[in-house]
Amino acid sequence: MALEVFHKDETLQMRRKLIGQSCRLFFSRDPVKIVRARGQYLYDENGMQYLDCISNVQHVGHCHPSLTQAAAAQMDLLNSNTRFLHDNIVLYADRLAATLPKKLCVFYFVNSGSEANDLALRLARQYTRHQDVIVLDHAYHGHLTSLIDISPYKFRKLGGQKEWVHVAPLPDTYHGIYREDHPDPGQAYADTMKSLIDEAHKKGRKISSFFAESLPSVGGQIIFPTGYCKRVAEYVREAGGIYVADEIQTGFGRVGSHFWAFQLQGEDFCPDIVTMGKPIGNGHPIACVATTEEIATAFTANGVEYFNTFGGNPVSCAIGLAVLDVIEKEDLRGNAVRVGGHLKQLLLQLQTKHPLIGDVRGVGLFIGMELVKDRASRKPATEEAAHLERIVMSTDGPWDSVIKFKPPMCFSIEDAERVCTCIDQILRVMAAKMSTHLQKCVMPWTPIYDNPFARDTLPKM
């Protein structure tokens, strides 16, 4: 039975009536109604094609046939409570283990990145018997109450900072206290962590953990300076805490050269816990926590059973396995290196033409382009960045001045060239102060069909 289809205006009216207003849409002034997708392309109700530069959740591409087939086949066979014995969960855990350092060998499956980080917090506190948490400024780790408490990006807009939360400076070498001209910014930023721990100890506080995205995304597509994570891990462990690497946005090969972004810090660096989400199921609700035997044993020793009714169910794990297969078969890590490198070079070329572009940074298909009022002061160009959101990109960073690129991993060389052509056009218009024309500037692509009845030309779902 086909679902009823509404006109865009009617859909928007119903949404405003039925859905909480804090659940915001992209392009809220004139929302785009997306009805189909395939790969890195989205299609609205009129057949207009949009290039998706932001959906890191749809890691291997929207509606990948291998994933839909795996999901349908397993759903037709069995989808049950995870406390029944089944092959899929152990097969999937074994595949994940092969991508990680050997000591990260115990897995807990959940349904979302927020659940994963919440469980990581429980594991850390149970293992260390300490409560306090260190996080980076501007960090975001999830929407649960426990995670709002450790997310400066959120708690500064709400109830404020808890006494057991300690906020370290974001190691941003463009805007931060130690910049690219510092002889050793990694050590300098790590030393701020040591000072923070010392101050906490003076107050009688004890550190359970340090939480950090392996590449801070909400913080502005930040690339950690060399040596930072290894030295921070030393300081945190000396204080009796553990290192939690949040790979929810950056894992599964997005950086290209490595499967996990924390591996950029060197082969001798290994977190104590790694959390996964978003790309793990290509949009299907599955997430995971990987940790050591010692931490898992301490968690078991509390005497309270941990179970998650749907975390790691047969369908979710079948999809997870299919995601790993596609990453390998389609060489998506290699694609991230090739296309990400090309995209970054194109953006650097634009930087030479447009003074508004202050910085281009990133690795693989995790790239940020920061807009500034002028390069000398590096004053963020927040309003100007908002104009570029019209081309299915979004902004992040403390001032919403960083255009972020984290597209599906099937993004192509041609896609990179298309989006940079459009950015160039928009920045030219902005430079000419043609504000009236700016409001009409969109991606220079036509609908994929002219005949409104020719819907069969859309990709089959």
What is the domain partition of the chain in residue ranges?
Answer: 8-63+331-435, 65-330
pLDDT per position as a tens digit, 272-326: 999 999 999 999 999 999 999 999 999 999 999 998 999 999 999 999 999 999 9
User: Span 111-137, mean pLDDT?
Assistant: 98
If phi > 0 it is left, if psi is from -120 to 50 it is alpha, else beta; for residue 252 that is: left
pTM listed for this prediction? 0.91
Fold of 8-63+331-435: Aspartate Aminotransferase, domain 1 (3.90.1150)
Distance between CA atoms of residues 237 and 370, nearest Å: 34
Confirm whether 8-63+331-435 and 65-330 share one CATH topology: no
Q: Specify whether the CB–CB gap between 114 and 144 falls below 8 A.
A: yes
Q: Specify whether the CB–CB gap between 53 and 407 falls below 8 A.
A: yes
pLDDT per position as a tens digit, 46-93: 999 999 999 999 999 999 999 999 999 999 999 998 999 999 999 999
User: Strand 132-136's sheet: what is its strand order?
Assistant: 106-110, 287-291, 273-276, 242-246, 207-213, 132-136, 165-168
Q: Is 11 exposed, middle or buried (0-12, 13-18, 19+ CB in 10 A)?
A: middle
Alpha helix stretches (DSSP H) within 108-214? 113-128, 145-148, 152-155, 185-202
Distance between CA atoms of residues 60 and 408, nearest Å: 6
Q: Which helix (H) or strand (E) holds 414?
A: helix 413-431
Helix (H, G, I), strand (E, B) or coil at 168: strand
Tokens matching residue 100 = 């990680």
Q: Specify whether the CB–CB gap between 275 and 117 falls below 8 A.
A: yes
Q: Specify the pLDDT at position 57.
A: 95
Q: CA quadruple 282, 284, 285, 291: dihedral positive or negative?
A: negative
295-318 burial, b if ≥16 CB within 10 A, otherwise e?
Answer: bbebbeeeeeeeebebbbbbbbbb
Strands 132-136 and 287-291: unpaired
Q: Which residues pair with 36 in a beta bridge?
A: 43
Distance between CA atoms of residues 246 and 183, nearest Å: 28
Fold of 65-330: Aspartate Aminotransferase; domain 2 (3.40.640)
- Residue 459: pLDDT above 50? no
- Residue 455: pLDDT above 80? no
